[in-house]
């Protein structure tokens, strides 16, 4: 996804493999600009293959696709699956020509689905959109009645009345009102009028606004790093480039940075339906990609998207986002959609970065980096002997690369440009792939007459004619070479400096869940080795703490077992031995028994479930160490069964033991611990164990607010429980 599609990676690798060894060496050692110049000649023979690959990415508007999605949408609508219908009508709209009756029809259909979902405001927006895109006049009464109903639901009585009057007039003017449709509409009309007259409209519906930002946190901003907390300071080293260091102790959950991304691109996501297997296939499918879920520009979640006028893959949350995106970058990217999808997100980010920065700023910094005296700053690890701060010869002061002349860090293209590209550390093959890909983008810009738009950062129509005609040679214009050099630099930087935002991941890498070798492996893409205390301890002690706790014990005397494939009892007097495989099989059987117990619970056979779990527990004690996580799971399940029976004290007792094990394995402030405490709080709450419940709620809140944020449903539920407990009458409190 981040890198180009596999076929193009293979093409580039083949191309690299057959190069003369001398040329390969020259390419590997050449500065970026020089390598690009050589690369232009090498791209030619690969161009046709890349074009074939691009044809698989369907990014244009296709009437057949529009028809397919609209019919699918109608089907889902008929089955009352309104959410799916909204999405499918959106996909249909993206394939219809802009300002056509067809696209208007998509918006009108979508408004009906939105109405059923209770999104009245958005429904009104879609109706307005349908009207402005040329919705067929004869169908208008139906849509206007929906509009009146929305207004009514929103409590806008006057607007609703006005709309109804308009519908009535329209139907009178249209004449004959004998068709079944018209009769139905008339019935609806009179029904709505009665509702208005009687004032019987429902409570004005409030639409949910989920993303209310809370700015309650005290935020002390750093004097020299905009958007950073004062607990941080900015450093520079030859090995790491510009980086942040903690200058004060940092509490878990404390906010450290609030910076808007200089550039962001929506990842198309895995299983991308835009990339079909075969170009001859015209089969459309209803799979959902990120392009259907998030705004192409601001990445907000989409409800009723607005399609780009030119392509089928850019969808926006609002007309404003569509306009801003077009102005800033999309008018250049729009015709390049298939190429950008084929070359992957890193190339896409690189292009958008230079488009946002503008040619003059890009060229200023590229020229600066070509200057010999600045080379080491741009690619610091090549130099190797710089002090931790760098003397800016011009100003005669210490300035960290990327900061302004006053030494202050601010989000800017200059700051992005000065991130380390690690040119020396990437493999020559990888650099070659990136280089060919960037050349492909620039060639395309040159051929399609978009060059002028890129260079001026202004309207694409001005002066593009003269610039582009006749440029079919292998060469790129000097200006495009500058853009290409910057883009190549950005692609190489991205591996170490880009942030991919996926959905909130609760169980991220942590020393309690992952061994040191796995953790270090994750860091290798950043050319970085962690030397934190946890890593050092684990590397030195050679003890695999995670597996130690999840070990077997002797089935004969319960002492610990030692060995690899053959396990021997550590108690010499016992000398019991057994194969690891046997015990592993026994563990598997035990887990199956546990699953069966849970099934019993689901079938409301709680008593049988308890019996089975207790049997599992006896069995587990025979061959698992008391600290084994499965012991905790058994306790957790027992707690669950007792809770369904309303035996709160027993439930709390079992959960308490589970919590001990979770704390041992995952640590006292882990998210796992938070979840267990949350369960305990619920049990104590239900059992009226007021003071215990209150203290458990507080512990759970402290942990979960760090991991899940103060807006999470769990935190809110905890707070509701607390309020409820504090409001209990004294008489009940004294009883407990
Ligand atoms: Zn948006
Ligand atoms: Zn577009
Ligand atoms: Zn570490
Ligand atoms: Zn033994």
Give mean pLDDT, residues 151-178.
80
Q: What whole-number percentage of the chain has pLDDT above 70?
A: 83
What confidence category does residue 673 fall into, taking pLDDT thresholds of 50, 70 and 90? very high
The ligand minimizing its distance to the Cα of 340 is 2
Report the C-alpha gap between 356 and 496 in whole angstroms: 21
pLDDT at 397: 52
The number of the ligand nearest the C-alpha atom of 306 reads 1
Query: Cα(239) to centroid of ligand 3, in Å?
Result: 17
Output the CA 303–ligand 1 centroid distance in Å. 11
pLDDT at 55: 87
Q: How many helices (H) and strands (E) does the chain have?
A: 35, 9
Q: What's the gap in Å between 629 CA and the centre of ligand 4?
A: 21
Q: What mean pLDDT, rounded, does the chain reach?
A: 83
pLDDT one-digit tens code per residue, 493-511: 887 777 766 655 556 677 7
Q: Across residues 219-242, what is the average pLDDT?
A: 82
- In which band, very low, low, confident or very high, does the pLDDT at 45 lie, cut at 50, 70 and 90? confident
pLDDT higher than 80, residue 350: yes
Q: How confident is the model at residue 466 (pLDDT cuts 50, 70, 90)?
A: very low
Compute the average pLDDT of residues 718-735.
78
Interval between CA 298 and ligand 2 midpoint (Å): 15
Distance from the alpha carbon of residue 361 to the mean position of ligand 2, in angstroms: 25
pLDDT of amino acid 218: 63
User: What is the mean pLDDT of the segment spanning 683-689?
Assistant: 92
The length of the chain is 736
Identify the three-state secondary structure at position 641: helix
Ligand closest to CA 298: 1
Give the three-state DSSP class for 244. strand
pLDDT reported for residue 383: 40
> For residues 453 and 332, is the Cβ–Cβ distance under 8 A?
yes
pLDDT band at 217 (very low <50, low <70, confident <90, very high): low
Is 379's pLDDT higher than 60? no
Distance from the CA of 337 to the center of ligand 1, in angstroms? 18
Rounded distance from Cα 264 to ligand 3 centre (Å): 28
Query: How many whole angstroms from 538 Cα to the centroid of ligand 4?
Result: 29
Residue 213: predicted pLDDT: 44
Calculate how far, in angstroms, residue 124's C-alpha sits from the geometric centre of ligand 1.
19
Element (H, E) at 235: strand 232-237
Tell whether the model's pLDDT for residue 734 goes beyond 60: no
Ligand 1 centroid to residue 320 C-alpha, Å: 8
Å from CA of 572 to ligand 4 middle? 8
Ligand nearest to the CA of 519: 3
Find the 561 Cα to ligand 4 centroid distance in Å: 8
d(CA 559, ligand 4 centre) in Å: 5
Ligand 2 centroid – CA 369 distance (Å): 33
Q: Is the pLDDT of residue 470 over 50?
A: no
DSSP 484-551: HHHHHHHHHHHHHH-----SPPSS-S-TTTS-HHHHHHHHGGGT-----HHHHHHHHH---HHHHHT-
pLDDT at 176 over 70: no
Whether the Cβ atoms of residue 577 and residue 596 lie closer than 8 Å to each other: no
Q: What is the Å distance from ligand 1's center to 298 Cα? A: 4
Question: Which one of the ligands is nearest to 319 CA?
Answer: 1
pLDDT-wise least confident of 163-167, 180-184, 517-521: 180-184
**Which range (118-127, 349-358, 382-391) has the least confidence?**
382-391
Across 220-248, average pLDDT: 83
Binned at pLDDT 50, 70 and 90, residue 240 comes out as: confident
| Band (730; pLDDT cuts 50, 70, 90) | low
pLDDT(212) > 70: no
**pLDDT average, residue stretch 543-558:** 71
In this structure, what token pair is assigned to residue 139? 């169908």
pLDDT > 70? residue 57: yes
Out of 474-483, 492-501, 671-680, pick the least confident: 492-501
Question: Quick check: 681 and 689 in contact, CB under 8 A?
Answer: no
Question: What is the pLDDT at residue 373?
Answer: 64
pLDDT in tens, 255-293: 888 888 888 899 887 544 444 444 445 567 778 888 899
Span 83-101, mean pLDDT? 94
CA of residue 290 to ligand 1 center, whole Å:
13
pLDDT digits (tens, 9 = 90+) for 607-624: 999 999 999 999 999 999
Residues that place a CB less than 5 A from ion ligand 1 = 295, 297-298, 300, 317, 321
Ligand nearest the Cα atom of residue 61: 2
Which pLDDT score, from 0 to 100, does residue 10 have? 93
Ligand showing the shortest atom-to-Cα distance for residue 334:
2
Instruction: Tell me, in angstroms, the distance from the centre of ligand 2 to residue 495's CA.
Output: 27
Overall average pLDDT of the 205-216 stretch: 46
Mean local confidence (pLDDT), 681-707: 92
State in Å: Cα 586 to ligand 4 middle.
Answer: 17
Outline where 526-628 has alpha helix (H).
Answer: 533-541, 545-549, 580-602, 606-623
Query: Tokens in use for 194?
Result: 């009665």
Ligand located closest to 94 CA: 2
Distance 24 CA to ligand 2 centre (A): 38
Judged by its nearest atom, the ligand closest to the C-alpha of residue 337 is 2
pLDDT band at 3 (very low <50, low <70, confident <90, very high): confident
Q: Rounded distance, CA 601 to CA 638, Å?
A: 10
The pLDDT assigned to 242 comes to 81
The pLDDT value recorded for residue 463 is 42
For residue 324, how many C-alpha atoms fall within 13 Å in the half-sphere facing its CB?
11
- Going from the Cα of 557 to the center of ligand 4, the distance in angstroms, rounded, reads 4
At residue 67, does pLDDT exceed 50? yes
| Predicted structure pTM score | 0.74
Per the model's pLDDT, the better-predicted residue between 515 and 102 turns out to be 102
Among all bound ligands, the one having the nearest atom to the CA of 322 is: 1
Report the pLDDT averaged over residues 145-173: 86
Mode of pairing for the β-strands spanning 397-398 and 561-562: unpaired
Q: Does 564 or 732 have the greater pLDDT score?
A: 564
Q: Quick one: pLDDT at residue 436?
A: 94
Q: What's the 88 CA to ligand 1 centre distance in angstroms?
A: 19
Continuous segment of H or E residues that includes residue 438: helix 428-447
Q: Which ligand is nearest to the Cα of residue 568, counting in written order?
A: 4
More confident of the two residues 551 and 438? 438
- Across the range 105-129, mean pLDDT stands at 95
Higher-confidence position of 158 and 285: 158
Model pLDDT, residue 542: 58
Give ion ligand 2 contacts, CB < 5 A.
Answer: 308, 310-311, 314, 334
Average pLDDT over residues 334-362: 93
Q: 425 and 527 in contact (C-beta within 8 Å)?
A: yes
**Cα of 2 to ligand 1 centre, how many Å?**
22
Range picked from 45-54, 70-79, 387-396, 489-498 for highest mean pLDDT: 70-79
Ligand 4: centre distance to CA 371 (Å): 73
């Amino acid at each position: 996804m981040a890198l180009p599609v596999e076929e193009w990676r293979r093409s580039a690798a083949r191309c690299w493999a057959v190069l003369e060894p001398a040329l390969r060496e020259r390419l590997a050692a050449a500065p970026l600009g020089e390598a690009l110049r050589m690369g232009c000649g090498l791209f030619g023979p690969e161009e046709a293959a890349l074009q074939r690959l691009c044809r698989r990415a369907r990014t244009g508007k296709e009437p057949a696709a529009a028809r397919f999605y609209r019919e699918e949408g109608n089907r889902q609508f008929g089955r009352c699956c309104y959410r799916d219908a909204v999405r499918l009508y959106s996909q249909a709209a993206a394939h219809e020509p802009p300002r056509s009756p067809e696209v208007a029809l998509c918006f009108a259909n979508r408004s009906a689905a939105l109405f059923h979902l209770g999104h009245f405001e958005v429904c009104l927006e879609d109706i307005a959109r349908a009207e402005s895109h040329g919705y067929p006049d004869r169908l208008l009464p139906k849509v206007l009645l929906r509009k009146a109903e929305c207004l009514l639901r929103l409590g806008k009585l006057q607007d609703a009345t006005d709309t109804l009057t308009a519908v009535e007039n329209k139907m009178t003017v249209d004449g004959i009102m004998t068709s079944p449709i018209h009769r139905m509409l008339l019935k609806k009309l009179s029904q709505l009028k009665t509702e208005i007259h009687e004032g019987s409209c429902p409570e004005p519906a409030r639409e949910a606004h989920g993303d209310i930002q809370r700015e309650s946190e005290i935020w002390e901003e750093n004097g020299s790093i905009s958007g950073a907390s004062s607990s941080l300071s900015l450093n520079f080293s030859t090995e790491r480039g510009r980086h942040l260091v903690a200058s004060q102790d940092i509490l878990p959950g404390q906010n450290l940075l609030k910076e808007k991304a200089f550039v962001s691109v929506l990842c198309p996501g895995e299983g991308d339906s835009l990339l079909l297997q075969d170009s001859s296939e015209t089969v459309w499918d209803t799979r959902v990609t990120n392009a259907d879920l998030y705004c192409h520009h601001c990445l907000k979640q989409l409800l009723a998207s607005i399609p780009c006028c030119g392509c089928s893959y850019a969808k926006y949350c609002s007309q404003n986002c569509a306009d801003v995106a077009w102005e800033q970058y999309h008018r250049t990217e729009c015709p390049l959609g298939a190429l950008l999808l084929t070359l992957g997100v890193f190339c896409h980010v690189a292009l958008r970065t230079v488009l946002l920065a503008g040619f003059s700023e890009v060229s200023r910094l590229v020229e600066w980096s070509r200057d010999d005296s600045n080379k080491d700053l741009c690619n610091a690890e090549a130099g190797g002997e710089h002090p931790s701060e760098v003397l800016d010869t011009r100003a005669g002061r210490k300035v960290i690369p990327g900061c302004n002349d006053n030494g202050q860090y601010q989000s800017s293209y200059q700051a992005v440009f000065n991130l380390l590209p690690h040119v020396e550390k990437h493999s020559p093959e990888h650099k070659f792939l990136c280089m060919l890909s960037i050349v492909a983008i620039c060639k395309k810009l040159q051929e399609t007459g978009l060059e002028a738009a890129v260079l001026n950062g202004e309207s694409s129509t001005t002066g593009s004619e003269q610039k582009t005609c006749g440029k079919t040679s292998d060469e790129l214009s000097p200006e495009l070479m500058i853009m290409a050099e910057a883009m190549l630099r950005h692609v190489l930087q991205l591996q170490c400096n880009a942030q991919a935002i996926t959905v909130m991941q609760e169980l991220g890498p942590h020393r309690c869940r992952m061994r040191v070798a796995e953790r270090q492996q994750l860091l290798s893409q950043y050319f970085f080795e962690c030397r934190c205390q946890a890593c050092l301890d684990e590397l030195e002690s050679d003890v695999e703490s995670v597996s130690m706790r999840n070990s077997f014990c002797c089935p004969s005397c319960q002492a610990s077992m030692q060995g690899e494939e053959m396990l021997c009892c550590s108690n010499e007097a016992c000398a019991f031995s057994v194969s690891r495989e046997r015990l592993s099989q026994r563990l598997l059987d035990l887990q199956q028994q546990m699953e069966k117990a849970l099934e019993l619970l689901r079938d409301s056979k709680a008593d049988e479930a308890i019996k089975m779990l207790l049997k599992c527990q006896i069995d587990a004690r025979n061959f698992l160490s008391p600290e084994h996580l499965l012991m905790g799971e058994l306790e957790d399940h027992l707690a669950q069964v007792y809770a369904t029976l309303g035996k709160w004290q027993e439930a709390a007792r079992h959960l308490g033991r589970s919590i001990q094990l979770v704390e041992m394995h995952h640590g006292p402030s882990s998210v796992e611990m938070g979840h267990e405490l949350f369960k305990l709080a619920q049990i104590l709450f239900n059992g009226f164990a007021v003071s215990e419940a209150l203290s458990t709620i507080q512990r759970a809140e402290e942990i979960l607010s760090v991991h899940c944020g103060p807006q999470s449903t769990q935190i809110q539920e905890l707070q509701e429980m607390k309020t409820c407990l504090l409001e209990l009458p004294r008489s009940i409190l004294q009883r407990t």
